[in-house]
């Protein structure tokens, strides 16, 4: 139950080649060392935490248990406990240096204890061990830097935070500075955190995953007497209580390759004799009915339409809001019997605070395999969004889980998770550490995350899947006949919490409007004010209001047009706007058009379509509205598979990408149906977990006549109309969550409580016509009699108290000011050295650099696996070497896969032909906003070697790559000896990103060392080599690419946040596409020196 030895002491002693005996501040207990502040040594050398007592070789809490006749019994004060040991006198301080006699120097400056053994306290200076003299450290005069900065000096020596000024503590809830040579015991590494609630705002250095052992207190199952029952289901009725439990309906297989469809059938989920039954039933083939598809709760990969061989049940407390942060969960259950049955009692986060699965966590209280009758599993999942997640698990041997009921338990407190069966602990997780997997971006800012948020409960029986990969695969015909009882039977579910942890259960939001829901009359125009209009009185489109979209994506609907900015497609004539579809046979965006392509989803800017057309919007001009009247007078196009639309999209994706943040279709129609148009709204969740509501309306001759299509939008409703006659009413007083995936909404009316902008377009073909047929270019385009939508006017009105400021998306041009000019490189005299690595030791300094391990290829088609091998990354003669080594075939070992830092596309399992090195200052927290970076390096020689000195954002403030930016200080091609490049990447998340770059001619970058530099100030980036400017970027502009949604609110973004440093040698990839492709057999024999040699790395910031 309890830790009985400090393994870190043993580990460091092995590294230092001395015996692990106890130093002056530790005591001995048999063969163990302990701190008397945290532990006591009892009879028979039993080591227990302070406050606990011993019984028969184990420790116990005397407030809960007693020791009677050397046996542990429940209840306090029932027997004789072992007496507390007498305190030992403190040793006298030493003032002599005794370390020289054993071959070590005494510390001249350091008073920080790294390790203690029989010789005394040890520190590190200049990378070497040195002995600390406690008396001198405690008694020599101390200076305090903090007073000069307006802070007091600390009385104690507890480091909370370290920056360039010095070491900081907190006393009396205020920052204070530690005095020079403050004598602090630090026998283990502690996590340094920046506390933003204090008044000090200096930059901190954050470390990552180490648990603070010095404050370790042993977890224990808390007595139920201290807690209050906050939730229970004893299953006393005759059916499932759906006010508590919602039933999931989907065929996805949980992303695990499972073979069931979860359904809401009474044969799968039922209550009988005071017990809940969740049963898997073989079906051969099962597909959700059309009615079930409407209530499908997860449509990942469009799986609501999948066929599976078994039906089963999965229920959860998610929709009812029964979710808890900390507490005691107990579920009494008998597990199913049969091969490849996978019962589970588990928890998922109520809100994805840290990102989608598994970044926000998962807690598996119990999972089991139906063919293994004497074992259950416990697990937690965490670390990052799939596939950058990891898990920790434990198997518990429990007798006959199939035939007997057992109580499966979780005790969850702020600092630990304890998993138990029948009140016996089997798995304990200490939460006082970082749970970042080390792969991809770190979703966490502190220890304990993500297990510091509310989780809800789930119960289910799955079938097959990757939980059985060590055993085999599910075979329907072989396995289902062996199912003797394919059901999990639950006797009760109970949740307890400490009174201080009890929080309000948020009731579910209704997805139905109130009973008094009724369409109102169209409000009178008298109280409204005209806030926007375009009467199209000029001779061209007003581009200060409308921006023209350029893309060939097809809207995700399989449409067949390229939207272009051509006058033949979008023009104004006789006071009317024309948006026209024109057959082209084949059309592909020109290189110039690709630069202004507004949506590159699926790399569609390069697609070929058969028709060009027009789509315009008020997005960039900032003309967007929340509530009001929209009126558009238009005549619709005539011709099969023409799809005109007047519609609205959210100005900001407040609730997530389409359709979580909503869509309002004021009018859409089919060109071969002359007397009908539709209204619709889209909502519910991000695709494919979205939903929609629509209505078709019969109106005479929408093709040959002008009609006024209208929307009246108020806080509580949407009212659609044509010619001032109501066609469709939507009551907004309900939840618009689809029930699929995670709920993006916290309240009713969402997402229709944010600003939306207007769009006008004519699409061609697509899934809007799936009930009619498919577009055929040769058959249909000759029948287009008038393939254009003609708009007479667009008008928007609002009530005075709803009118808000128009905020253009791009407040400044995407080009810098006219006075933009590269400045001279700032003098070093105004700067202070804040980071340097001169590589003077004999190995890489891991306290600064973390080594990446992955085979992904950077998303660039590179051909290396980055590994943590000494042959790839080593320090020699005061220089760092990063070396690419041909391997023919290389795949990460099982041990390396555990430390793989990027699993995009499951690439940790990929095979590559070369190993190489890539290091970064990410995990050490060495990251900077503004300053000078200088790296002296010699570049590798050999075709398709790609060395790089570059920077990535410490936090993805503006979104994933490249929305949050990238700064390439130097990159080069190994077959080009006199050239290197500078670049920046920005603009939006891939594939809607952009870049700016410059190639520079420099003599012999391969054979000579050069100093590659970056000077980064608030208004510019200045790249250099050997202190000569090579590339200048003025930051006084917007860096949005114009594609997709704009991630930026201001100029300079994303280059106004901290970036960390990376050094690497890649192999091949798209950086060489203008030259050719890497060929292993042809190119590696020509590698004369496939390594980048780095002499130093230095970073300076203004004093």
Q: Residue 188 has what pLDDT?
A: 30
Q: Which string of DSSP letters, residue by residue, matches 743-774?
A: ---SSTTTTTTS-EEEEEEEEESSGGGTTT--
**Distance, CA of 22 to CA of 179 (rounded, Å):** 28
**Distance, CA of 265 to CA of 104 (rounded, Å):** 75
Q: Which string of DSSP letters, residue by residue, matches 965-1019?
A: -EEEEEE--TT-TTEEEEEEEESSSTTS-EEEEEEEE-TTTTTS-EEEEEEEETT
Q: Residue 17 has what pLDDT?
A: 36
Share of the chain residues as helix, strand and coil, in percent rounded to the nearest 5:
10, 40, 50
Residue 393, helix vs strand vs coil = strand
Residue 1070, helix vs strand vs coil = helix
Q: Residue 1013 has what pLDDT?
A: 98
pLDDT digits (tens, 9 = 90+) for 929-978: 999 999 999 999 999 999 999 999 999 999 999 999 999 999 999 999 99
pLDDT digits (tens, 9 = 90+) for 374-421: 999 999 999 999 988 999 999 999 999 999 999 999 999 999 999 999
**Distance, CA of 1052 to CA of 697 (rounded, Å):** 49
Architecture of domain 525-659+677-802 in this structure: Sandwich (2.60)
Q: Which string of DSSP letters, residue by residue, matches 859-912?
A: TTT--EEE---TTTEEEETTEEEEE-EEEEEEE--HHHHHT-S--GGGGGG-EE
Q: Express as a percent the part of the chain with pLDDT over 90.
A: 70
How far lies 508's CA from each of 243, 245, 511, 655, 809, in Å?
Answer: 9, 11, 9, 18, 36
**Distance, CA of 585 to CA of 562 (rounded, Å):** 12
- Catalytic annotation, pick one of 218, 663, 788, 971: 663
Find the Cα–Cα–Cα–Cα dihedral 299, 301, 303, 305, rounded to 10°: 100
Where is average pLDDT lowest: 62-66, 603-607, 760-764? 62-66
Domain ranges in the chain are 7-194, 224-247+270-276+314-501, 525-659+677-802, 833-841+919-1102
- Greater confidence, 665 or 158? 665
Residue 840 appears among annotated catalytic residues: no
Q: Strand pairing of 707-714 and 691-698?
A: unpaired
How confident is the model over 1009-1013, as a mean pLDDT?
Answer: 98
| Mean pLDDT rounded to a whole number for the chain | 87
**Distance, CA of 258 to CA of 47 (rounded, Å):** 47
Residue 663 appears among annotated catalytic residues: yes
pLDDT at 89 over 80: no
Tokens (6 digits) for 880: 């760092």
**Distance, CA of 1082 to CA of 1080 (rounded, Å):** 6
Residue 294, phi then psi, degrees to nearest 5? -65, -30
Domains 525-659+677-802 and 833-841+919-1102 share a fold: yes
Find the Cα–Cα–Cα–Cα dihedral 467, 469, 472, 473, rounded to 10°: 70
Q: Residue 1019 has what pLDDT?
A: 96
pLDDT at 175 over 80: no
Choose which CATH entry (1.10.600.10, 3.30.470.20, 3.40.50.300, 2.60.120.200) describes domain 833-841+919-1102.
2.60.120.200
The total number of residues shown for the chain amounts to: 1103
- Greater confidence, 158 or 759? 759
How confident is the model over 467-483, as a mean pLDDT?
Answer: 95
Architecture of domain 224-247+270-276+314-501 in this structure: Sandwich (2.60)
* H/E stretch holding 459: strand 455-463
Q: Residue 834 has what pLDDT?
A: 96
**Distance, CA of 120 to CA of 134 (rounded, Å):** 9
- Asked if omega into 962 is within 30° of 0 (cis), the reply is yes
How confident is the model over 336-365, as a mean pLDDT?
Answer: 96
pLDDT digits (tens, 9 = 90+) for 319-333: 899 999 999 999 999
Find the Cα–Cα–Cα–Cα dihedral 766, 771, 772, 773, rounded to 10°: 50
Q: Residue 92 has what pLDDT?
A: 46
pLDDT at 434 over 70: yes
Quick one: residue 852, left, alpha or beta (phi over 0 = left, psi -120 to 50 = alpha)? Answer: beta
Q: Residue 85 has what pLDDT?
A: 47
Read off the pLDDT band of 94 (50, 70, 90): very low
How confident is the model over 866-878, as a mean pLDDT?
Answer: 98
Residue 576, phi then psi, degrees to nearest 5? -135, 145
Read off the pLDDT band of 43 (50, 70, 90): confident
- Catalytic annotation, pick one of 549, 668, 862, 966: 668
**Distance, CA of 46 to CA of 43 (rounded, Å):** 6
- Most distant CA pair in the chain: distance in Å? 105
Residue 990's Cα: distance from chain center in Å? 15
Query: Which candidate, 217, 190, 187, places its Cα nearest to that of 2?
Result: 217
Rg of the Cα atoms in the chain:
34
Q: Strand pairing of 576-580 and 582-588?
A: unpaired
**Other Cβ atoms within 10 Å of 150 Cβ, number:** 9
Question: Is 160 within 8 Å of 172 (Cβ atoms)?
Answer: no
Question: Is 999 within 8 Å of 979 (Cβ atoms)?
Answer: yes
**Distance, CA of 279 to CA of 461 (rounded, Å):** 7
Environment class of 501 (CB within 10 Å of its CB; exposed 0-12, middle 13-18, buried 19+): middle
Q: Which string of DSSP letters, residue by residue, matches 795-809?
A: EEEE-GGG------S
pLDDT digits (tens, 9 = 90+) for 1034-1089: 999 999 998 888 899 899 999 999 999 999 999 999 999 999 999 999 999 999 99
The residues pairing with 891 across neighbouring beta strands, listed in sequence order, are 911
Q: Express as a percent the part of the chain with pLDDT over 70.
A: 83
**Distance, CA of 22 to CA of 28 (rounded, Å):** 6
Q: Under 8 Å CB-to-CB from 766, ≥6 apart: which residues?
A: 554, 555, 557, 558, 559, 560, 643, 775
């Amino acid at each position: 139950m309890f830790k009985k030895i400090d393994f870190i002491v043993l580990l460091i002693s092995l590294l230092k080649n001395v015996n692990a005996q106890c130093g002056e501040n530790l005591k001995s207990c048999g063969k163990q060392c302990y701190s008397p502040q945290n532990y006591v040594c009892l009879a028979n050398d039993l080591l227990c935490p302070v406050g606990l007592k011993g019984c028969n070789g184990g420790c116990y809490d005397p407030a809960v248990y007693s020791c009677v006749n050397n046996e542990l019994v429940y209840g306090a004060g029932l027997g004789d406990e072992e007496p507390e040991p007498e305190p030992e006198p403190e040793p006298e301080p030493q003032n002599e240096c005794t370390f020289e006699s054993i071959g070590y120097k005494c510390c001249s400056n350091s008073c920080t204890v790294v390790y203690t053994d029989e010789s005394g306290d040890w520190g590190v200076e200049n990378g070497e061990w040195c002995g600390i003299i406690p008396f001198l450290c405690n008694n020599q005069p101390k200076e305090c830097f903090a007073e000069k900065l307006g802070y007091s000096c600390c009385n104690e020596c507890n480091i909370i935070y370290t920056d360039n000024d010095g070491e900081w503590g907190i006393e009396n809830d205020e920052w204070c500075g530690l005095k020079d040579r403050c004598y602090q015991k630090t026998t283990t590494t502690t996590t340094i955190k920046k506390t933003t609630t204090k008044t000090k705002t200096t930059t901190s250095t954050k470390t990552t995953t180490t648990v603070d052992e010095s404050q370790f207190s042993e977890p224990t199952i808390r007595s139920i007497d201290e807690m209050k029952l906050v939730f229970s289901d004893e299953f006393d009725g005759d059916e499932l209580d759906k006010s508590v439990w919602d039933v999931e309906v989907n065929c996805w297989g949980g992303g695990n390759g499972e073979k069931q469809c979860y359904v809401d059938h009474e044969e799968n989920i039922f209550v009988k004799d005071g017990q809940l039954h969740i049963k898997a039933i073989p079906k051969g083939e099962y597909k959700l009915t059309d009615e079930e598809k409407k209530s499908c709760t997860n449509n990942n990969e469009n799986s609501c339409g999948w066929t599976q061989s078994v039906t089963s049940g999965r229920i959860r407390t998610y929709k009812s809001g029964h979710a808890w942060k900390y507490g005691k969960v107990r579920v009494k259950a008998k597990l199913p019997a049969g091969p490849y049955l996978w019962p589970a009692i588990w928890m998922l986060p109520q809100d994805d605070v840290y990102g989608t699965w598994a970044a926000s966590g998962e807690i598996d209280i119990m999972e089991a395999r139906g063919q293994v009758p004497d074992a259950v599993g416990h697990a937690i999942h965490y670390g990052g969004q799939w596939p950058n997640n990891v898990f920790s698990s434990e198997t518990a041997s429990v007798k006959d889980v199939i035939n007997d009921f057992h109580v499966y338990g979780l005790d969850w407190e702020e600092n630990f998770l304890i998993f138990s069966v029948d009140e016996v602990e089997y798995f304990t997780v200490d939460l006082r550490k970082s749970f970042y997997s080390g792969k991809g971006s770190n979703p966490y800012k502190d220890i304990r995350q993500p297990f510091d948020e509310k989780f809800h409960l789930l119960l289910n029986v799955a079938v097959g899947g990757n939980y059985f990969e060590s055993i085999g695969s599910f075979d329907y015909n072989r396995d289902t006949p062996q199912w003797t009882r394919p059901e999990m039977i639950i006797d009760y579910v109970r949740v307890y919490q400490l009174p201080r942890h009890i929080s309000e259960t948020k009731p579910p939001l209704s997805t139905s409007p109130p009973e008094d829901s009724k369409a109102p009359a169209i409000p009178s125009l008298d109280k409204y004010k005209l806030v926007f209009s375009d009467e199209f009185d000029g001779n061209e489109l007003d581009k200060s209001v409308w921006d023209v979209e350029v893309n060939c994506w097809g809207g995700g609907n399989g449409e067949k047009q390229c939207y272009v900015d051509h006058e033949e497609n979008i023009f104004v004539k006789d006071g009317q706007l024309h948006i026209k579809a024109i057959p082209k046979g084949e059309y592909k965006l020109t290189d110039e058009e690709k630069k202004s392509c507004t949506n590159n989803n699926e790399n569609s800017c390069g697609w070929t379509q058969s028709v060009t057309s027009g789509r315009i919007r008020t997005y960039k001009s900032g003309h967007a509205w929340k509530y009001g009247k929209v009126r558009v007078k238009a005549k619709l196009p005539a011709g099969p598979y023409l799809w005109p639309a007047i519609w609205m999209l959210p100005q900001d994706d407040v609730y997530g990408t389409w359709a979580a943040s909503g869509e309002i279709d004021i009018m859409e129609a089919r060109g071969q149906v002359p007397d009908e148009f539709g209204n619709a709204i889209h909502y519910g969740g991000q695709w494919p977990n979205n939903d929609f509501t629509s209505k078709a309306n019969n109106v005479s001759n929408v093709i040959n006549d002008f009609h006024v299509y209208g929307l009246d939008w108020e806080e509580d409703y949407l009212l659609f109309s044509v010619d001032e006659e109501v066609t469709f009413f939507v009551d907004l007083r309900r939840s618009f969550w689809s029930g699929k995936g995670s709920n993006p909404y916290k309240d009713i009316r969402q997402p229709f409580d944010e600003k939306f902008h207007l769009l006008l377009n004519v699409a061609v073909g697509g899934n809007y016509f799936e009930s009619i047929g498919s577009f055929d270019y040769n058959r249909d385009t000759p029948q287009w009699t008038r393939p254009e939508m003609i708009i007479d006017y667009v008008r928007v009105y609002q009530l005075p108290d709803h009118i808000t400021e128009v905020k253009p998306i791009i407040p400044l041009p995407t080009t810098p000011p006219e006075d933009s000019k590269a400045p001279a490189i700032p003098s070093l005299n105004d700067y202070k050295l804040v980071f340097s690595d001169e590589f003077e030791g004999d190995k890489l300094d891991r306290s600064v650099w973390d080594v990446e391990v992955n085979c992904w290829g950077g998303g660039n088609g590179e051909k290396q696996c980055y590994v943590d091998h000494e042959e790839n990354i080593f320090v020699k003669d005061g220089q760092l070497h990063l070396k690419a080594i041909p391997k023919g075939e290389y795949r990460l070992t099982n041990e390396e896969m555990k430390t793989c830092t990027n699993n995009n596309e499951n690439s940790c399992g990929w095979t590559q032909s070369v190993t190489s090195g890539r290091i970064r200052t990410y995990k050490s927290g060495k990251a900077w906003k503004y300053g000078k970076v200088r790296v002296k390096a010699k570049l590798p020689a050999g075709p398709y070697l790609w060395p790089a000195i570059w920077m990535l954002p410490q936090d993805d403030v503006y979104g994933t790559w490249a929305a949050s930016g990238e700064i390439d200080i130097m990159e080069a091609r190994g077959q080009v000896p006199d050239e290197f490049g500078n670049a920046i990447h920005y603009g939006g998340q891939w594939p809607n990103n952009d870049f700016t770059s410059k190639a520079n001619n420099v003599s012999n970058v391969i054979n000579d060392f050069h100093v590659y530099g970056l000077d980064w100030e608030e208004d510019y980036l200045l790249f250099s080599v050997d202190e000569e400017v090579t590339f200048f970027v003025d930051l006084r502009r917007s860096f949005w690419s114009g594609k997709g949604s704009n991630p930026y609110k201001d100029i300079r973004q994303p280059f106004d946040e901290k970036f960390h440093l990376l050094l690497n040698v890649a192999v091949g990839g798209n950086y060489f596409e203008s030259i050719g492709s890497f060929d292993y057999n042809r190119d590696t024999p020509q590698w004369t020196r496939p390594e980048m040699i780095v002499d130093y790395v230095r970073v300076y910031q203004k004093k």
